[in-house]
Amino acid sequence: MGIETSCDETAVAIVTGDKRILSHQILSQKEHEIYGGVVPEVAARAHLHHIDHMVEAALGEAGVSLPDLSGVAVTAGPGLIGGVMVGVMTAKAMAAVHDLPLVGVNHLEGHALTVRLVEDVAFPYLLLLVSGGHCQLLVVEGVGAYRRLGTTIDDAVGEAFDKTAKLLGLGYPGGPAVERAAAGCADVKAARKKFPLPLPLVGREGCDFSFSGLKTAVRRMVELRVQETPGAKDVPGLPEDDIAAMCASFQLTVADILCDRAGNAIAEYLKGDPAAPALVVAGGVAANKVLRAALEGLAEKNGLRFVAPPVKLCTDNGAMIAWAGVERLRLGLTDAPDFPVHARWPLDPDAPVASRKSERI
Amino acid sequence: MSLRTLRIKDEEDMRVLAVRLAQILKMGDVLALRGDLGAGKTSFTRSLVNALAPSEEEVPSPTFTLVQVYERQKPAIWHFDLYRIEEEQDILELGWEDAIRFGVTVVEWPERLGSLMPKDRLEIDIQFVPDSENERDVSFVPHGRWVTRRMTDE
C-alpha cells in the first residue's frame, strides 16, 4: 500500500510486486477557475478528515484486508509538513497494529521510479521530471541512487504554463488550456516570427532551467499586442488568431528550452555508457503532445528509448508511492517506526547549486 | 506615512537593492511584496535570501509549495507565496505564527492575509515601467514600527 498526502491530494493505492495496480484512490484538489489556479489543500485537517476513508476505499477496491499487505509505504517528504504527518502517522499506526514493514518514501523518488511500474526500464535511465512544482533532470542510477544534472533556477515548467494561461485569459489548468488554444494556430512558423520569445539559458552549458524571464516576456508580448490592436483594450479584446499564435509560440519556445537542456543532459548521461539508454519523461506536463513529440524526437536522434508513464501515474498519486515501496522492500530498505518527516528532501543532496551564476561558468 | 519610490534599471540593480535591505533585517520583520505576475517578486526574494546565506542557495518559486523556509540564515527566512490561498486559516497552517515571531518573513500576494496582516511591516510594491522591459518602479511603504525605522539605502 502506498499513501500520499504531501501536497494537494489525499491518495492511497495498492500495487503488487508483479506490477498490477489493485486500487488507485485519489481525492483530488478543488479546482477554482476564477482564480486561474488550484486552491491547495493546505490544511492537514483536510487530509486527516479523508485519510481513513481513502484507506478503506483502497482496501475495498483491491479486495484485500490490512493483514494481507506485505508492507506500507508513505510519502515522508518533501512537502507541507502537516499533510505529510497525517499520512506518516496513519502508515505507522497500521504497520504497528498489523506488524507490517514500513517504508518512508521521498515523493520525488515516487515520481522517479513510477515508470518501472508500467514498463521494463533498466537502470540507469535519464529522467526529465516536469510538473507544476518540479522541473529536474536526473540520472536514476538505482533505487535511492540519483544524480541530479539540472533543476529550475526559478519557476517550474507547469507554473510557466499556468501563468501564461492566466496572462492570456485562458482557463485552468494552464497546460491543456494553452495546448488547446495553440492547436488553433494554422501557421506555427509565422506565429513564432510574429511573437518571438526569449530562450533562457539555451545554448549555454549545463542542464538547469529558467522560466521566470519567459513569464515576464509573455506578459510584455501580450501587453504590446493589446496596444497594437485597434479597438482592443484588454486581452479578451484580442483576435482569437493572435491568442492561438501566442500560445503556439510559447509552447514551441518551451519545447526548445526543454530539448536544449535535456540534450546537454543526454550527453552527460551517455558518458556513463548505459547498457539500455532511455529517456523517461514524468510529470503532468508530459501530457502535452507538442512537448512530448519534441522530446521523443530528441531521444530518437540520440539513440535513446523514449518512455512516458500514463498521465494518471504522472500526477501525484498513491500508486507511485506504493511502487517505490515495492522497490525498496525488495532491497530490504525498510524504515524504523520512528522515521522522521522532511519538509525539504532533495533526491541528490550533493548536486551543485543551480543558479544563474553557476550557469555562467 | 512616508513613501519612497526608486527607479530600478535592471535585475542587477534590483539585486543590489535587495542586498542592501537584507543588511538591516532582524527577527520578526515582515516584508510584504506586491506587484503583478512577472514583476520580479521572487527574483527580489532570491537576492535577499542569498545575501544572507553562508553560501549560494537555490530559491525556487514558492507558488507551488506555498512556503519555502531557509534555515541556514539566522534568523530563518520564510518565503510565502499566497497566490493560491483563499482561506486565512490555511495561512496559519503554513507556520505563519512561527514565521512572524522567530523569522524574517517575505510574503508575496499579501492581500490574501486579510486580518492576519501584521501591523508592523514594510510593503514593497514592484511596478512595471510602461514601454520598458527591464525597468521597475519600487515603492516602499512602511507600516507600524517601520515608519520610524532607518533604512540604510536612504
A32-36, A140-144, A212-216 — which one is most confidently predicted on average? A140-144
Would you say residue B64 lies in a domain? yes
The answer to whether residue A198 sits within a structural domain is: yes
Asked if residue B82 belongs to a domain, the reply is: yes
Is B96 among the domain residues?
yes
Residue B149 has pLDDT above 50, yes or no: yes
Please answer yes or no on whether B94 and A153 come within 8 Å at the CB atom. Answer: no
Provide mean pLDDT across the span B109-135: 94
Q: Please judge whether B57 and A353 are an interchain contact, meaning their C-beta atoms are less than 8 angstroms apart.
A: yes
How far is it, in rounded angstroms, from Cα B148 to Cα A30?
A: 44
Ranking A5-14, A43-52, A226-235, A352-361 by mean pLDDT, the lowest is A352-361
Q: How does pLDDT run across B5-30, given as a tens digit for each residue?
A: 999 999 999 999 999 999 999 999 99
Residues A149 and A204 both lie in one domain: yes
Residues A97 and A188 in one domain: no
Q: Do B64 and A38 touch (CB under 8 A)?
A: no
On whether the CB atoms of residues A327 and A143 are closer than 8 A, the answer is yes
Q: In this structure, what C-alpha cell is assigned to residue B15?
A: 539585486
- pLDDT tens across A86-107, in order? 999 999 999 999 999 999 999 9
**Do A178 and A236 have their domain in common?**
yes
Summarize pLDDT for A105-133 with one digit per residue, the tens: 999 999 999 999 999 999 999 999 998 88
Q: Which of residues 222-241 of A touch B (CB under 8 A)?
A: none
pLDDT at A79: 86
The model's pLDDT over A209-250, given as tens digits with 9 standing for 90+, comes to 999 999 999 999 999 999 999 999 889 999 999 999 999 999
Domain residues for A96? 2-112+313-359
A129 and A272 in a single domain? The answer is yes
- Domains identified in chain B, total number: 1
Give which of A56, A50, A81, A49 is closest to A1, Cα–Cα: A56
Contact criterion met (CB < 8 Å) for B84 and A79:
no
Q: How confident is the model at residue A31 (pLDDT cuts 50, 70, 90)?
A: very low
Same domain, A189 and A209: yes
**Which chain A residues have a beta carbon less than 8 Å from that of B129?**
none
Does a structural domain hold residue A84?
yes
Could you tell me if A168 lies within 8 Å of chain B, comparing CB atoms?
A: no
A319-354 as b/e: b if 16+ CB within 10 A: bbbbbbbbbbbeeeebbeeebebbbebbbbeebbeb
**Residue A153: closest CA among chain B residues belongs to which residue?**
B60
Q: What is the pLDDT at residue A36?
A: 45
Claim to verify: residue A104 and residue A216 sit in the same structural domain: no
Spatial CA neighbour of A68 closest among A57, A59, A77:
A59
Whether residue A117 is contained in a domain is answered as: no
Which of A293, A312, A331 corresponds to the end of one domain? A312
Domain encompassing residue B86: 11-117
Of the pLDDT bands very low, low, confident and very high (cuts 50, 70, 90), residue A39 is: low
List the CATH number of the domain containing B37: 3.40.50.300
In 3-state terms, what secondary structure has residue B6? strand
Q: Which long-range contacts (CB under 8 A, 24 or more apart) does A86-89 make?
A: A86/A5, A86/A44, A86/A47, A86/A48, A86/A51, A87/A3, A87/A4, A87/A5, A87/A6, A87/A47, A87/A51, A88/A339, A88/A341
> Does any domain span residue B24?
yes
Which CATH number fits the domain that encloses residue A208?
3.30.420.40
Q: Do B90 and A220 touch (CB under 8 A)?
A: no
A147 inside domain: yes
Whole-number pLDDT of residue A132: 80
Yes or no: say if B115 and B88 are a contact pair by the CB < 8 Å rule: yes
Is the CB of residue B66 less than 8 Å away from at least one CB of chain A? yes
Contact B133 A220 (CB under 8 A): yes
Shared domain check, A290 and A317? no
Among residues A175, A116, A126, the alpha carbon closest in space to that of A150 is found at A126
Does B20 fall in a domain?
yes
Q: Which residue has the higher pLDDT, A6 or A128?
A: A128
Structure confidence at residue B152 (pLDDT): 54
Judged against a pLDDT cut of 60, whether residue A33 lies above it is answered with: no
Give ∠ CA A174-B43-B35 in degrees, rounded to 5.
70
User: Are the CB atoms for B90 and A43 separated by under 8 Å?
Assistant: yes
- Higher-pLDDT residue of A1 and B61 is A1
B84 contact residues in A (CB cutoff 8 A): 35, 37-40
State whether A293 and A151 are in the same domain: yes
Which chain B residues are Cβ-neighbours of A216 within 8 angstroms? Answer: 38-40
Confidence (pLDDT) at B89:
86
Domain count for chain A:
2
Q: Between A and B, how many CB-CB pairs are < 8 A? A: 87
Report the helix count and the strand count for chain B, using DSSP H and E: 4, 7
- Considering the domain architecture, whether residues A203 and A237 belong to the same structural domain is answered as yes
Structure confidence by residue, pLDDT tens digits, A253-309: 999 999 999 999 999 999 999 999 999 999 888 889 999 999 999 999 999 999 999
| Nearest beta carbon to residue A215 from set B37, B46, B133 | B37
Indicate the DSSP class of residue B148: G
* Shared domain check, A293 and A182: yes
Q: Is B116 on the interface with A (CB under 8 A)?
A: no
State yes or no: pLDDT of B64 exceeds 90. Answer: no
Which of B59, B77, B93, B108 to mutate against chain A (most A CBs within 10 Å)? B93
Looking at residue A30, its pLDDT comes to: 52
Least trusted range by pLDDT, from A210-214, B50-54, B84-88, B122-126: B84-88
Q: Is the pLDDT of residue B81 over 50?
A: yes
Say which of A37, A43, A215 has its CB closest to residue B83.
Answer: A37
pLDDT of residue A53 exceeding 90: yes
Q: Residue A70 pLDDT > 60, yes or no?
A: yes
Do both A57 and A131 map to the same domain? Answer: no
- Give domain status of residue B23, yes or no: yes
CB B55 within 8 A of CB B83: no
Contact A42/B at CB under 8 A: yes
CB contact, 8 Å: B112 with chain A?
no
Q: Is residue B78 situated within a structural domain? A: yes
DSSP B76: P
* pLDDT of B108 above 50: yes
Chain A from 195 to 224: CB within 8 A of any B CB:
212, 215-216, 218-220
Same domain, A27 and A158: no
The answer to whether residue B19 is domain-embedded is: yes
For residue A67, the model assigns a pLDDT of 97
